[in-house]
Chains A and B, each alone.
Chain A
Amino acid sequence: DTEVTQTPKHLVMGMTNKKSLKCEQHMGHRAMYWYKQKAKKPPELMFVYSYEKLSINESVPSRFSPECPNSSLLNLHLHALQPEDSALYLCASSSQGKTYEQYFGPGTRLTVT
């Protein structure tokens, strides 16, 4: 199984809402990632978890809160977002061995109203 799943596919939320994005993989990968992608732009790295520990935090605002409950799951908790946070949020995973290719999920299209 080389699939990374993300839920929900689409999310519309108000600026006062609290919501969570979920990501799951069953490839035994020990690194998981969150990226943010605006239209016609490349993905921007937000967070990296390695062996369930946060290893990279790209100075992301605290209204985004990542969580890695176990090696297969990755969450992104959202609170008090701004309209400019509307984007495609991509989750990815990779092994920690000799190859570092990342496997991406289909993304969650987030709209903040």
Chain B
Amino acid sequence: SQQGEEDPQALSIQEGENATMNCSYKTSINNLQWYRQNSGRGLVHLILIRSNEREKHSGRLRVTLDTSKKSSSLLITASRAADTASYFCATASPYNNNDMRFGAGTRLTVKP
């Protein structure tokens, strides 16, 4: 079953702009991960943030986690056309790290 919701469902921006995607979840978590999926392909892991962390950076990616609000955000700075993809958050159960559930996803389009 799906863990939570993401918004927006779709986002269209110009190259060079920043893109922010939000994820909310329903249950306690051990960690939260963000994945990217190019059309009809496998998912690629982007970044993992643990439940005791509040912010994490990786290159042009910045992830925040607010466990009190059960929400996370992914910021992609200086977006490129190659960032066009679907982005999913995924949460792992605190009882079983292998039990990972995905949010609904945000479809990002970056126009050149």
Contact = CB atoms under 8 A, between A and B. Distances in A.
B42 A105 contact: yes
B-side interface size class: 20 to 34
Given A100-B31, A100-B97, 14 more contacts: A4-B42, A45-B99, A45-B100, A45-B101, A55-B98, A90-B43, A100-B30, A100-B48, A100-B92, A101-B33, A104-B43, A105-B42, A107-B41, A109-B40
The SS class assigned to the A binding surface is: strand
Interface residues of A, number: 28
Contact of A55 (B35, B41, B96, B107): B96
A46 to B, nearest CB: 12
Interface of B: 1-2, 30-31, 33, 35, 40-45, 48, 88, 92, 96-105, 107
Contacts of A104: 35, 42-44
Nearest to B97: A100
